[in-house]
Every structure is written in C-alpha cells, then in structure tokens.
Amino acid sequence: EKAAQIQENKIIQGENLPPQTEQEFEKLVASSPDSSLVWIQFMAFHLQSCQYDQARAVAKRAVDRINFREENERLNVYLAWLNLENAFGSPETLDKVLKDAVQRNDEYK
C-alpha cells in the first residue's frame, strides 16, 4: 500500500512513470496513435522479454494505424522494425519488411 501511495504522489506531482504493463501501453497507443515514439517504446517493451513476434505485431499495427499523412512517424516505426529484423530476424523477414516499407512510403525518403 505504501508503494501505491508513493506512485500516486509522484503522479500528483507530475512525475509520470513510463508504462510498465502491456495494458498501460495499449492505453497509451490508444491515446496517441500517431506517435512513433509510443509505438517504438511498446516494441522495446516486448523486446526486453524476448517476445520478438509480439514486437513484430506491434510494429505491423503501428504502420497500419499511423495516419498516412504522418509519413515521418511511419518511417520511424519502419526503421525500428528493420532494426528488429536485422538483429533478430532472418534475411527473408528483413527483405519482406524493406519491400513493404518502400511500397508504402516515398521511396526517396
């Protein structure tokens, strides 16, 4: 109970804590669906516990959900996704994500 009271005091004082659970991240992406930073943090949350497929699913949701006018935000997510595939995926998955990124974005960016 004391820990909960400390967290409540921090929130009251404006010291926001980063999300700690999947449900908290879901609320955050629902409130800021066009923010690549939030989506990438959600991916990193899954990567910390070696949940690579779930991180990929978050990346896929992000590029589908971010407004098409927010191209730089989508490109940020694609870059994180490409880094994920480069580090933990196969050459085939890396190539698939790269082709998808080129097809869905301005190829000169």
Structure tokens at 108: 């000169």
Q: pLDDT (tens digit, 9 = 90+) per residue, 73-93?
A: 999 999 999 999 999 989 999
Does 66 or 106 have the greater pLDDT score? 66
C-alpha distances in angstroms, 6 versus 1, 2, 34, 39, 67?
Answer: 9, 6, 31, 28, 37
- Its pTM stands at 0.80
Per-residue confidence (pLDDT) for residue 109, from 0 to 100: 61
Cα-based torsion angle of the residue sequence 38, 42, 43, 47 in order, rounded to the nearest 10 degrees: 140
17 versus 26: which is more confidently predicted?
Answer: 26
